[in-house]
């Protein structure tokens, strides 16, 4: 009996502790529409992207964004309830000074499990993708004049900015391509990327005639050739997060 107890104790001590915030406020603050503010004839949303300091984490974003940050995944790598895209949560977490962002992301996972009762599986799957590559012999990409990323313009059959990373372009191509687009250009840093194209004809599934297709117009796929880029079909194994259970309302702070 004594040997068994010692074995259980040793096993428990060998398991790594699960990092958690020292202090955590986790609130459900409505859906995306209820977080749109109208004032003086203008509209804005009161979302706040993730802000990390060595001692705190704060955000006001849809649940899917929290999952993306906690697991460092793209939206297409997450299988979650549809409401995860629209329901907004506000997080304010305090942690020991000097905590790394990687550890803070583990703390976010713990918060999702503790406050929303999340049960999830992370497993690799092989899926069809497109590789974004440079056309051999092409040198049409222009480096940006600054090392600070610019705002991204999208809409009106245009996409880009004076200083954006190629990975942002790959993300922008994903919806129009119908499968994940992975940046494999090998080009680091920021580039001048201003894409313009002729709009493809609208179809009944695109909505009414006055709608804009943001990110879904296939014309953007042909525009990348102006920068010496192309898409190549391929298959790739990558991690996917499957949410088996999650509550919409968090437990009380």
Can you tell me the distance from the alpha carbon of 64 to that of 66, in angstroms, rounded to the nearest whole number?
5
Query: Does any domain span residue 9?
Result: no
158 and 68 together in one domain: no
Please indicate, yes or no, whether residues 146 and 232 belong to a single structural domain of this protein: yes
- Give CA separation, 18 vs 9, 104, 195, 235, in Å: 17, 11, 45, 34
Q: Are residues 69 and 111 in the same domain?
A: yes
Tell me, yes or no, whether 115 lies in a domain.
yes
- Tell me whether residue 5 is in a domain: no
What is the residue-level pLDDT of the chain in tens, covering all 253 positions?
A: 444 444 434 444 444 578 999 999 999 999 988 888 887 778 888 899 999 999 999 999 999 999 999 999 999 999 999 999 999 999 999 999 999 999 999 999 999 999 999 999 999 999 999 999 999 988 899 999 998 998 888 777 888 889 999 999 998 888 888 899 999 999 999 999 988 888 766 554 444 333 334 445 678 888 999 999 999 999 999 999 999 999 999 998 7
Q: What is the pLDDT of residue 213?
A: 41
Q: Does residue 170 fall inside a structural domain?
A: yes
Indicate whether 91 and 22 sit together in one domain. Answer: yes
What the block records as the tokens of 174 is 């994903």
For residue 190, the tally of other CB atoms under 10 A from its CB is 21
Query: 23 lies in a domain?
Result: yes
User: Could you give the number of structural domains in the chain?
Assistant: 2
pLDDT score of 198: 80
Among 60, 54, 146, 151, which Cα is nearest to 103's? 54
58 and 135: one domain? no
Q: Looking at the structure, do residues 102 and 157 belong to the same domain, yes or no?
A: no
Question: Are residues 29 and 119 part of one domain?
Answer: yes
Q: Is residue 2 part of a domain?
A: no
| Residue 33 DSSP label | G
Range of the domain at 230: 126-197+214-237
Which DSSP symbol is given to 198? P
Specify if 12 maps to a domain: no
């Amino acid at each position: 009996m004594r040997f068994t107890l010692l074995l259980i104790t040793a096993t428990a001590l060998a398991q790594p502790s699960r990092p958690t915030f020292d202090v955590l406020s986790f609130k459900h603050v409505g859906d995306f529409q209820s977080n749109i503010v109208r004032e003086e004839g203008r509209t804005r949303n009161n979302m706040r992207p993730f802000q990390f300091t060595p001692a705190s984490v704060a955000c006001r974003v849809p649940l899917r964004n929290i999952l993306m940050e906690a697991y460092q995944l793209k939206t297409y790598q997450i299988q979650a309830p549809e409401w995860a895209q629209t329901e907004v949560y506000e997080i304010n977490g305090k942690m020991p000074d000097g905590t790394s962002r990687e550890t803070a992301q583990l703390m976010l996972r713990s918060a999702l499990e503790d406050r929303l009762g999340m049960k999830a599986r992370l497993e690799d799957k092989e899926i069809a993708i497109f590789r974004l590559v440079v056309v051999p012999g092409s040198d049409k990409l222009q480096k940006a004049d600054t090392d600070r990323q610019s705002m991204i313009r999208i809409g009106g059959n245009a996409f880009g900015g004076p200083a954006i990373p190629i990975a942002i372009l790959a993300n922008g191509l994903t919806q129009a391509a119908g499968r994940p687009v992975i940046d494999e250009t090998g080009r680091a840093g920021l580039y001048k990327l201003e894409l313009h194209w002729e709009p493809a004809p609208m179809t009944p599934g695109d909505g009414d005639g006055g709608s804009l297709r943001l990110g879904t117009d296939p014309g953007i796929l042909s525009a990348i050739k102006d920068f010496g880029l192309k898409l190549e079909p391929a298959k790739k194994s990558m991690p996917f997060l499957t949410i088996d259970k999650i509550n919409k309302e968090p437990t009380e702070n």
